[in-house]
């Protein structure tokens, strides 16, 4: 379906190289996805950057920012696009809805569905859809339907689809995304849960969704009626230490005001991991287990050493049940320099007890979930009664109730 323009040899070489890398690292696992990623000229859909930049395996191409430099639209990294295309399991003849336009991903989908299938791509921003329409037409994908609309609402005339692929970060699942899926249809979405984003492949089961896979990812957040911002709690009222809560602040945030006046309590847990080991299940375990779960960040320009996380921009943290003490995870290298050991720091009147609580959850993860599958994620319509929902943690959002539960013990 691509145009007839002759590509430079360097672009072909770079494209084949990135696909070879993604195959070797198992981001691409099927010949169908491999074929379309070799066929479609990625650089042609990212004219804002050089050919070399367009083919960096793990780098997105930013196509629009606001006046403050906040990213509003991008072409996802090849690794993320491969991941989501594999999760979607698109077959020839399918009808596919893409939410969040850029042009490139719609071209991949058009190749996968073939001449008997249909692809509709939707974005709320007319600048984005104008760009997508132009690039798709230029490169032989004029059969893709481009719509400017808020995709949280039904798309007029669309009807049922086999796959919905969302390419913007979503905090909620609008009812229309489920309603427009055929029975057994798939929704692939970067879903934010308690501040953690996962690309989740869901299957429609009756009136709800059940996950088949979930992988760490990052995306430009959704705009429109389903947009949602995290809430930031500045500890002690200063911007040095910020706690980001995805589902609402503690009941009385002022109770944390004096936490930093207490000495920092530190303990090391003897739980060690390899320096390259993924922490996706640890993050989800703490998010499920701790009611006060949050993400801590430290302003490097204001850092006075009150807290000492290993990663100042992203540390797993929590506030205790009384709301007076907070703690976070940190790490240090082991003597062999091939592993890191987890530690827990806590500040507040109950620091020692809360540090032990955090350490206990860390040890539970190491014994029960480390190296295993992530939690099963189910999405129910808002208002679904509790007795119909099973899960260790239920997150209530505007349009949905999301349950998280671990599969049977290994």
Nearest Cα residue to 218 out of 374, 21, 65, 60: 60
Note the pLDDT of residue 218: 76
Three-state secondary structure call for residue 313: coil
Q: Which residue has the tokens 């970067």?
A: 190
Exposure string for 29-55, b = 16+ CB within 10 A, e = fewer: eeebbbebbeebbbbbbbeebebeebb
Residue 327 CB contacts under 8 Å (≥ 6 apart), including other chains: 317, 318, 320, 344, 345, 346, 347, 351, 354, 355, 358
Pairing of strands 241-245, 231-234: antiparallel
Note the pLDDT of residue 355: 98
Note the pLDDT of residue 75: 79
Read off the pTM: 0.89
Note the pLDDT of residue 279: 86
d(CA 62, CA 405): 35
Helices (H), 114-167: 126-138
Nearest Cα residue to 269 out of 366, 152, 159: 366
Q: Phi first, then psi: what are they for 376, rounded to 5°?
A: -80, 130
Note the pLDDT of residue 76: 84
Nearest Cα residue to 376 out of 342, 348, 407: 407
Q: What is the pLDDT of residues 159-203, one digit of tens each?
A: 999 999 999 889 999 999 999 999 999 999 999 999 999 999 999
d(CA 379, CA 202): 9
Structure tokens at 177: 């995304």
Residue 200 CB contacts under 8 Å (≥ 6 apart), including other chains: 188, 189, 190, 191, 211, 213, 214, 377
User: What is the CB-side half-sphere exposure of residue 74 using CA atoms within 13 A?
Assistant: 24
Q: Residues for the chain: how many in total?
A: 410
- Cβ distance 345 to 327 under 8 Å? yes
Note the pLDDT of residue 372: 87
Residue 180 CB contacts under 8 Å (≥ 6 apart), including other chains: 97, 154, 155, 158, 159, 160, 161, 164
Note the pLDDT of residue 276: 82
Segments of the chain scoring below 70 in pLDDT: 1-7, 62-73, 221-222, 224-226, 408-410
The DSSP element (H or E) to which 244 belongs, if any, is strand 241-245
Residues serving a catalytic function are 76
């Amino acid at each position: 379906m691509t145009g007839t323009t002759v590509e430079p040899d360097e672009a072909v070489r770079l494209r084949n190289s990135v696909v070879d890398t993604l195959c070797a690292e198992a981001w691409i696992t099927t010949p169908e996805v491999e074929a379309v990623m070799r066929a479609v000229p990625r650089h042609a859909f990212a004219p804002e950057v050089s050919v070399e930049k367009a083919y960096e395996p793990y780098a997105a191409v930013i196509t629009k920012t606001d006046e403050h430099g906040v990213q509003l639209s991008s072409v996802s990294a090849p690794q993320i696009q491969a991941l989501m295309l594999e999760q979607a399991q698109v077959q020839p003849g399918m009808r596919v809805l893409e939410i969040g336009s850029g042009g490139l991903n719609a071209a991949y989908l058009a190749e996968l569905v073939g001449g008997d299938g249909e692809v509709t791509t939707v974005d709320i921003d007319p600048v984005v859809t104008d760009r997508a329409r132009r690039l798709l037409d230029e490169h032989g994908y004029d059969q893709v339907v481009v719509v400017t609309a808020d995709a949280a609402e039904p798309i007029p005339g669309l009807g049922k689809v086999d796959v919905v692929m969302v390419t913007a970060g979503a905090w909620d699942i609008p009812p229309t995304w489920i309603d427009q899926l055929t029975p057994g249809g798939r929704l692939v979405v970067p879903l934010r849960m308690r501040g953690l984003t996962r690309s989740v492949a869901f299957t429609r089961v009756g009136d709800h969704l059940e996950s088949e896979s979930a992988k760490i990812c990052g995306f430009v957040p959704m705009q429109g009626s389903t947009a949602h911002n995290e809430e930031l709690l500045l500890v002690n009222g200063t911007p040095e230490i910020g706690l980001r809560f995805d589902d609402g602040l503690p009941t009385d945030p002022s109770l944390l005001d004096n936490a930093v006046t207490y000495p920092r309590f530190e303990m090391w847990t003897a739980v060690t991991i390899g320096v390259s080991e993924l922490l996706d299940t640890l993050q989800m375990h703490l998010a499920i287990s701790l009611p006060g779960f949050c993400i801590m960040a430290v302003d490097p320009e204001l850092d006075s050493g009150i807290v000492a996380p290993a990663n100042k921009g992203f540390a797993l943290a929590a506030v205790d049940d009384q709301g007076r003490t907070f703690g976070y995870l940190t790490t240090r290298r082991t003597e062999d320099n091939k592993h890191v050991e987890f530690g827990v720091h806590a500040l507040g009147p109950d620091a020692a007890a809360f540090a032990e609580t955090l350490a206990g959850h860390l040890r539970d993860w190491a014994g029960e979930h480390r190296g295993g599958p992530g939690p099963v994620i189910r999405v129910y319509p808002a208002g679904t009664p509790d007795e119909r929902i099973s899960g260790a943690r239920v997150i209530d959002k505007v349009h949905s109730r999301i349950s998280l539960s671990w599969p049977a013990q290994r």
